Structure 1
Amino acid sequence: MQAQIKSALQTIIILKFINYNTDIILQPLVAVLCAAVLGFERETQGKAAGLRTQMLVGLGTAIFTMAAWNLQERLADTEGATRVDPTRVIAGIVGGLGFLGAGSIIQAGKSIRGLTTAATVLVVGAVGIACGLGDYLLALVATGFATII
């Protein structure tokens, strides 16, 4: 009986390990792939925030979101621990995306350039956040819509 219980516990631990590590690989990977789809268009247009930049934005936002969520889960049962609110991290990410987007906007005389690139940075960041939360359907639908637009 003890051997069966031990075996069942080992199986649970192994499955939890595999599930956790699959998420660690899959969430940033999907974020990078979605960002690559959107960044490719910017790259072919010769824009400053092209393929690599968009992929890094997608990766960064996914990792920040995952780290915030993991920290919140780890500290949830710790007595006396500081409360962590992942939505505050997401708000910080959005602020950073605004800063990156603003850097791509250039005013030359009466014309303004870079607005579409700035909007793409924002969308890629949102897709990265969705991936970091494990919401792949939202990320894929948003990528599809942004590609069509």
Structure 2
Amino acid sequence: MENEVPLLDMVIRLLAAAVLGAMIGIERELRKRPAGLRTHMLVSLGAATFLLVGYEILFATATGDPSAQIDPTRIVEGVITGIGFLGAGSIIQSGGSVQGITTGAAIWIAGAVGVACGVGNFVLAGLVTAISLVIVVGLGFLEHGVIHDDD
């Protein structure tokens, strides 16, 4: 077992998280939503960072005192909870309608992409980003252009 994540790997994982988060956030930005490009980049970057910090703690405890262990899944749980809180904050109820649910979901997905980048699973992160963009752009166009066209 390797004792640490090499610096170049950290840089690649963090940059991948930021870039893929930006790809999700740009759509929200273009639609002039409150949580846009920078928010999604920061959420994804933060999630990747927490995973990398978790790895460092895991490696440090694995080489030292065997009784001092860390469960990496608890870090993921904490990241998910924090991101859920941010996503919930983007949802607004106004005048009998609810707005921001898609933005909240996009924030949650940006966090998942960051987690995937943090563990070095770039294929999963890229697939999730691509599928997310198909959903928000492609289905958004369909929803607003075709389905709600009769309203």
1:75-96 CA-to-partner distances (Å, cap 9, x unmatched) read 1131254211111011000000
Tell me which residue corresponds to 2:92.
106
Aligned counterparts of 1:144 and 1:132: Cα–Cα separation in 2: 18
Q: CA deviation at 1:143?
A: 0.3
| 2:16 pairs with 1:30 | yes
| TM-score, normalisation: structure 2 | 0.84
Tell me which residue corresponds to 2:149.
none
Q: Secondary structure at the match of 2:93?
A: strand
Aligned counterparts of 1:25 and 1:129: Cα–Cα separation in 2: 14
What CA RMSD, in Å, does the superposition of the two structures yield over aligned residues?
Answer: 1.6
Q: Identity, % of aligned pairs?
A: 41
From 42, 61, 65, the equivalent of 2:51 is 65
Displaced runs of 4 or more, over 6 A: none
* Residue type of the alignment partner of 1:106: I
| Cα distance change on mapping 1:56 and 1:130 into 2, 3 Å | same
Matches within 5 A, 1:105-144: 105-144=91-130
Q: Secondary structure at the match of 2:6?
A: helix
Aligned counterparts of 2:36 and 2:50: Cα–Cα separation in 1: 21
The size of the alignment, in residue pairs, is 133
Runs of 5+ consecutive residues of structure 1 not aligned to the other structure? 1-15
Q: Secondary structure at the match of 2:39?
A: helix
Q: CA deviation at 1:24?
A: 1.3
Aligned counterparts of 1:74 and 1:128: Cα–Cα separation in 2: 22
Q: CA deviation at 1:100?
A: 0.1
| TM-score, normalisation: structure 1 | 0.85
Runs of 5+ consecutive residues of structure 2 not aligned to the other structure? 136-151
Tell me which residue corresponds to 1:56.
42
* Residue type of the alignment partner of 2:43: V
Matches within 5 A, 1:34-45: 34-45=20-31
Aligned counterparts of 2:55 and 2:73: Cα–Cα separation in 1: 9
